Amino acid sequence: MVMTRAWRNGAAAERDFPVERVSDLVAEPDTFVWVDHTDPRPDELADVEEELGVHALAVEDALERGQRPKLDRYRESLFLVVYDVTGRTDTGELVSHEVKAFVTKRALITIHGADVDLSDVEHRLDASADIADHGVPWLMWALLDTVVDHASDVVEDLDQAVSALEDDLFEHGSSSERQIQRRSFVLRKQLGVLRRLVVPTRDSVTSVLHGDAELVVDGIRPYFRDVQDHLVTIADSVEQLRDAVGSVLDTNLGIASNHQNVVMKKVTGWAAIIAIPTAITGFFGQNVKFPGMSQWSGLFLSLGLIVATSLVLYRVFKSKDWL
């Protein structure tokens, strides 16, 4: 599926036109286009290569999934790879979508899977139509700004999850300790994935701002600088949250160790209470007559006392979470 839009003299001109018309439209003065491909076939990208002169290596990368976030510069175009992270699943996985783009002086060609929805990019374009005269850099900014906004929402969600984890840190019970450890490892994994998928985009935007991409003129430069600031904030937040999760893990282990020490002290106290009478009676050899002595009833009575006292001690220790 292909979506096409064209702007002329800073105003929307056409949409849903055939890809074959792209080369004709970009040849017109003050005209630029956006072509959005969903799961394109190799022959469709070959048409893009022919229509816009995109480098063959960029087309080859566009066909391969799992590219790292990057901005490659060729003679007549740029090749951009970003990841749109939109949320978290119940199983602890981040929902991320790979988006690739060819950037030329007069065209932006985006490539993604069927699970990607770029409607937010269109809404951003419609809301900022007053700066449409900046051309393709305006389209590129809208894509990057949408990705950064989604990532910022995910970072805020992770921040709330870490805060909730810290609030639950001092809950008692071994089951709570295990739950905190599991949640900590899941959060740490999510933060690691977010750092790997989103933070490198900061380098791409920095390359644009420092003149590696001559497409960006001074009028649109502040918008890219705003995107860069958001990416720097995301990178700092991710590192701070990773440190916070690490602190939670260390604190949880410390609490578990302290709790174990308390249990050991209590068990030692019980052992001392039981050991002293045992030592005294054993030392003096208090072999006195008792009910059922030399009878089967005495054996059953002693066995019953052993089982009963053991069960009582087990229940006491279990209720205090010592076992």
pLDDT in tens, 113-135: 888 888 899 999 989 988 888 88
- Whole-number Å distance between alpha carbons of 191 and 103: 30
pLDDT averaged over every residue in the chain? 83
Residue 34 dihedral angles phi and psi, to the nearest 5°: -125, 125
As given in the structure block, the two tokens for residue 290 are 């008792």
- Higher pLDDT residue, 89 or 270? 89
Give mean pLDDT, residues 213-226: 76
pLDDT band with cut points at 50, 70 and 90 for residue 10: confident
pLDDT digit string, tens, across residues 14-42: 888 888 888 888 888 889 999 998 888 88
Q: Encoding tokens for residue 36? A: 């959005």
Per-residue pLDDT at 112 exceeds 70: yes
Tell the residue number behind the tokens 């001559």, with chain if given: 214
Average pLDDT for residues 206-225, to the nearest whole number?
Answer: 76
CA distances from 3 to 14, 33, 110, 144, 246 (A): 11, 11, 10, 19, 45
Residue 110 confidence (pLDDT): 92
- Per-residue pLDDT at 303 exceeds 70: yes
Is 60 exceeded by the pLDDT of residue 302? yes
Percentage of the chain lying above the pLDDT 70 cut:
88
Asked if residue 145 has pLDDT above 70, the reply is: yes
Q: Which two tokens stand for residue 301?
A: 């009575």
Whether pLDDT at 287 is above 70: no
pLDDT range class, residue 213, cuts 50, 70, 90 = low
Provide the pLDDT for residue 206.
87
- Residue 227: per-residue pLDDT: 93
Higher pLDDT, 162 or 44: 162
Average pLDDT score over residue span 169-190: 76
Averaged pLDDT, 284-291: 62
pLDDT for residue 281: 57
